Amino acid sequence: MIDSRRADNPDVLSDVLHTLRAVGTVYFCDQLTAPWTKSLLEPATASFHQVRRGSCRFVVGEHRGVLRPGDLVFVGPGTEHQLNSDVPGAIEHSSDTLLLCGYCQFELGEKAGPSASLFPAFTLLRHEQLSERAWLAGVLDQLGNEYLSRAPGSSLVVNRLTEVLVVELIRMSFGDTGQGKILRALADPPIATALQALHANLERSWTLEEVAHHVGLSRAGFASRFRDRVEQPMFAYLTALRIERARALLSESQLSLSEIASRVGYESDVAFIRMFKKQVGLTPTAWRKARVSTE
């Protein structure tokens, strides 16, 4: 029987977010005097930039515009972007800009896993939108204050607040824009139901027919719809999910390879080790040892 405990979309999102193991911080909060330019490319991190005072121009791929006080731009991993002081109509004596910038890197958010599909390349939140979420605006205020204060323990507070902020920005994209692949897929009820079943029953030996029947679609119809929404076939997604979950278990637990293989849906250690090495480039044992040596 398919486990129905995870009966709503956010549980799938929570499962993927948990696997990300986010580590974040603010890396810049300072006053800039025109002219200035910041060109950024963070291959493995999501980043955000909020104008606290003044204004600036942003360029993110095909998106470009002006950030005013309170506006925030959220940029997904691997997206090149630029901020600069070249704002049309800016008054010279008021051109100083106070920027709050932060990032969040993901210990297990490698390209092979579903977590890499969470992020929209670009999300713009205007001051008015943030004002509707008072607690989120408060987190940003606290982030700036803690970073500038340099008080004892402030670095820990900044890191934790940044992690909460980035997770909430992802959740907002889920609810409001659904730009990331997984977010778009979760907006499609049959595919969301399929994802819930896969995430909740990872140890099961799934077939296309079983999942298609569970969501009320034909095998061919489901396979096509899943590929269209998730942008990869179901078994490719399932393999990536299993390996991502295996990495988390290897990192967070002392479970044996046999136990981990069973939990992520492999009937034999040999099959698990072969697929893990194919996806990650190392055997599970070698990957675990490498993780331990870097922590």
Residue-wise pLDDT tens digits, 145-178: 888 888 888 888 888 888 888 777 777 765 554 4
227 neighbors 181 (Cβ within 8 angstroms): no
State the pLDDT at residue 41: 79
The three-class DSSP label of residue 17 is helix
Tens-place pLDDT, residues 64-100: 999 999 999 988 877 889 999 987 765 544 568 899 9
Q: What is the pTM of this model?
A: 0.66
Mean pLDDT by 10 residues, the chain (295 residues): 44 70 75 88 80 92 92 86 81 70 69 60 88 88 86 87 80 57 81 91 94 96 94 92 90 92 94 94 93 67
Quote the CA–CA distance of 6 and 68 in Å, as a whole number.
41
Domains belonging to the chain, first-starting first, are 10-177 (2.60.120.280), 188-294 (1.10.10.60)
**DSSP E strands, 56-201:** 56-60, 63-67, 72-75, 81-84, 97-106, 122-125
State the pLDDT at residue 273: 96
State the pLDDT at residue 72: 94
State the pLDDT at residue 166: 78
